[in-house]
Amino acid sequence: MRHQGLILGSDCLSVPQVDDQEQNTRSAYLRGATRLLRILVSESAYLIWVLRCEGVIQEKYHFE
């Protein structure tokens, strides 16, 4: 359960900003990357939860 805090706090994740001359362009990319990271972490956690529930409740396992 080491990553439980990461999953629960996924809304606080952000991609670190690097000092660059093109600040506005870089900032737009970082906002997009941060949003993508948050979506991927939360959707991955949800998928794992759904697959686990399906395996426990309906005894359908998606692995060998």
* Closest to 62 measured CA to CA, from 46, 42, 47: 47
Residue 41 domain-assigned (yes or no): yes
Residue 39 domain-assigned (yes or no): yes
**Which residue range forms the structural domain that includes residue 35?**
21-64
| Predicted model pTM | 0.66
CA–CA distance, 37 with 34 (Å, rounded to integer): 5
Residue 61 domain-assigned (yes or no): yes
Residue 2 domain-assigned (yes or no): no
State the total domains in the chain: 1
Residue 1 domain-assigned (yes or no): no
Number of Cα atoms under 13 Å in the Cβ half of residue 8: 5
Residue 43 domain-assigned (yes or no): yes
Residue 7 domain-assigned (yes or no): no
Alpha helix stretches (DSSP H) within 1-64: 4-8, 23-58
pLDDT for position 59: 77
Residues of the chain where predicted confidence (pLDDT) is lower than 70:
1-4, 18-26, 28, 61-64
CA–CA distance, 46 with 51 (Å, rounded to integer): 9
